[in-house]
Amino acid sequence: DDTPGCTREAVEFSALEKSFKRAGAVIVGVSKDSVAKHDKFKEKHGLAVTLAADESGKTVAAYGVWVEKSLYGRKYMGIDRSTFVIDQKGIVRGVWRKVKVPGHVDEVLAASKTQQ
């Protein structure tokens, strides 16, 4: 929470939350941050989307988004910004990896509309 990319993405998804709802989609952001940190982040930015805390890392590992990263030669583990569209039967219908935020929310909304 509160990194520039995460914040922008959460704000953009929140702004279109009603459009996603009309498309029959529910938005859930998942990270290893705590519930308290998510609550603070949501309040600070007026977010409408659900944020799920995966402090154990089981969900992010299962989706293959907990990866080794490198910054200035220093290696560390972190989230690979990704989006999954999952239908009502639990089938993954769309996957975006290494997401670049500009335009992403519109792309996901369009894909969500095709799942109705």
Q: Is the pTM of this model over 0.75?
A: yes
Active site residue 79: no
Determine the pLDDT at residue 42: 96
Number of domains in the chain: 1
| CATH code of the domain in which 50 resides | 3.40.30.10
Count of CB atoms situated within 10 Å of the CB of 28: 12
pLDDT surpassing 80 at residue 101 = yes
Per-residue pLDDT reduced to its tens digit, 49-85: 999 999 999 999 999 999 999 999 999 999 999 999 9
Beta strands 83-86; 74-79: pairing state? unpaired
Q: How far apart are CA 62 and CA 43, in angstroms?
A: 29
Position 53 scores a pLDDT of: 96
Q: Average pLDDT over the chain, rounded to whole? A: 93
Q: Which domain holds residue 96?
A: 4-113
Contacts of 102 (CB under 8 A, 6+ apart): none
Tell me which of 6, 16, 60, 65 is the catalytic residue.
6
Tell me the pLDDT band of 37, cut-offs 50, 70 and 90.
very high
